[in-house]
Structure 1
Amino acid sequence: MRQERQVLSSGGALSLLLAASLLLSSASSEEYDYYTWQTDNFHNSGRFYSKQPQCVDIPSDLRLCYGVGYKKMRLPNLLDHETMPEVRQQAGSWVPLLAKRCHADTQVFLCSLFAPVCLDRPIYPCRSLCEAVRDSCAPVMETYGFPWPEMLQCEKFPIDNDLCIPIQFSGNHATQTPVSKVCPPCDNELKADTIMEHFCASDFVLKMKIKEVKKEKGDRKLLAAQKKKKVLKMGVLRKKDLKKLTLYIKNGANCPCSQLDSLSSSFLIMGRRVDQQLLIMSIHKWDKKSKELKFAVKYMKSHQCPTYHTVFQ
């Protein structure tokens, strides 16, 4: 514990996460395989757990946090998820946000909560870290129709001190790349991995033709052609939705979307139902020559996605 305090108070030469990672790597794997916190009952945010927290390996299929810089995480985590399947379910919906690179600390912030580093006490993100990520990423999320979620309200986190995770990138280095002005659903690579991430995080997936595109109250409204639809993932769609299918790019009335410059081809569209609207999360032209697209579509038929919850709401 004395060693831990010395590292935590070092004043910023190393990030808290990296320092914690060094502490973990200096111990034997056997020590941390069975490491638990010596408390009668674990209490977090007014909730009691029947099991004491434990250190567990961050699994390779936890895409949000695998390879974040340390190998073991605290379970239950800091968002009240008690089992690894629950962590996977909740964390999976955030993976597409990382691809937008709205802030360089997005992964550090999210993983500090979903997969907290394994120490003898919970280490929360500093309020300033939350605020920096929120201010950069909330506008991106809003373009998808999702507000910054209640569970990540920054007032819940501690004001900066030596025992919380601080901002890693500041000033002009806050973002890795400038946030694109292109409508976010239109700004995704036609890569199999990217397609599958959106496939699993979406409520529905369609191959379809678009009859008409309109602007409506700041959104872009897409009207589907009546018969040219193939359902690749039904999800929340109902049969009556398919009969007169209307999709929206939230806040997308004026941002560029090159895919919609021509409506002659079919499209791969992935999205979610939010309130009573079907919102587009990703849109690609259906390129018959694309090996990446062919691979992804073939993989969709057999791939078992985790049951992601809509954590943005």
Structure 2
Amino acid sequence: MAHGQKSPRWALTQGSFSLVLSLSFFSLLHLLLIVSAADEYDYYSWQSDNFHSGRFYTKQPQCLEIPADLRLCYNVGYKKMRLPNLLDHESLPEVKQQAGSWVPLLAKRCHADTQVFLCSLFAPVCLDRPIYPCRSLCEAVRDSCAPVMETYGFPWPEMLNCDKFPMDNDLCIPMQYSDNPATQPPVPKPCPPCDNELKAENIMEHYCASDFVLKMKIKEVKKDKGDRKLIAAQKKKKVLKHGILRKKDLKKLTLYIKNGANCPCSQLDSLGANFLIMGRKVDQQLLLMSIHKWDKKSKELKFAIKYMKSNQCPTYHSVFQ
């Protein structure tokens, strides 16, 4: 993922817009669209805002339709985005490549506002001034999603450092959903690698993001401090993606669910079946990214296996790479 690092400049005035702070994201957009009536940017009106850390964009900002293959943001709630975006991506192919790696995070449902937050940066709404996410929105998504990312060995990236974004008393994109613990009894969330629907699309996203993919049996599951340790059976394993695995890794294969000692994982309730295992190597540990029971009757699984043999994965500079 490109590390566009900059200190946002909050060019919009605060006082006259204080009333919008209590509005929802889409109400805020509706109001601003009426005020600006802008389908295209006035380049000179925000030229000074386009200079960050010595970088100056010579390409005139433009409004583009959000394409269907920009899956992260295609259904976010508005149809046009601006380029360059708020992460310094200047072309649509670059946006697609960088945004694609975040799609699996949406499937984890770590926070209801994850898509709104990410798309406010990757595919910002097409207005005459850039509107950044509020710091509280960033913090809410970070606090819910960073533990999920850490399960896969990824820290919260510096490019999404919440201190870079404006306080809620500025004009910015607020949270859309807020959890009310008083009305919602706590329900244990499944371990992230276990919380995957058996769909070809999901399988392929994890396949492309994983270092290695195996069909194998699990002999034993143990708790190891705060982690969960999966010890592979010694029977023959079928390698679907070899990646960085060495022969000695396969002989005594042990996988870890980071911080997964106590979260539910229904797939591991019974160890008799074969499993589709996908993982990454991080700091000499093999981390589990996704696990499915190998269902011979599943059309979704059959399609995914066929796809693995005949298609190349995109190159991501990404979170789930």
Fold shared by both chains (TM-score > 0.5):
yes
Listed as ranges, the matches of 1:1-313 within 5 Å are 10-12=19-21, 14-17=23-26, 19-20=28-29, 32=40, 35=41, 37-38=43-44, 39=47, 42-172=50-180, 180-226=188-234, 228-311=236-319
Q: Is the 8 A contact 2:102 2:318 kept in 1?
A: no
Q: Is the 8 A contact 1:8 1:16 kept in 2?
A: no
Q: Which amino acid aligns with 1:182?
A: P
Q: Is the 8 A contact 1:144 1:280 kept in 2?
A: yes
* SS of aligned partner of 1:222: strand
CA drift of 1:107 comes to: 0.7
Q: Is the 8 A contact 2:25 2:176 kept in 1?
A: no
Measure the CA separation in 2 of the matches of 1:178 and 1:68.
28
* SS of aligned partner of 1:200: helix
Measure the CA separation in 1 of the matches of 2:308 and 2:208.
9
Measure the CA separation in 1 of the matches of 2:62 and 2:86.
13
TM-score (norm 2): 0.81
Structure 1, unaligned stretches of length 5 or more? Answer: none
Identity %: 79
* SS of aligned partner of 1:96: helix
Structure 2, unaligned stretches of length 5 or more? Answer: 1-12
* Cα RMSD, aligned residues only: 3.4
Say how many residue pairs are matched.
307
Measure the CA separation in 2 of the matches of 1:56 and 1:290.
39
TM-score (norm 1): 0.83
1:236–1:24 CA distance, 2 compared to 1 (3 A) = farther
Measure the CA separation in 1 of the matches of 2:263 and 2:156.
21
CA drift of 1:112 comes to: 0.6
* SS of aligned partner of 2:233: strand
CA distances 1:30-65 after superposition (whole Å, capped 9, x unpaired): x54xx5623389323553344333222222122111
Measure the CA separation in 2 of the matches of 1:203 and 1:62.
24
Q: Is the 8 A contact 1:41 1:50 kept in 2?
A: no
CA distances 1:253-275 after superposition (whole Å, capped 9, x unpaired): 23222222332221111222223
Measure the CA separation in 2 of the matches of 1:297 and 1:47.
45
Q: Is the 8 A contact 2:25 2:175 kept in 1?
A: no
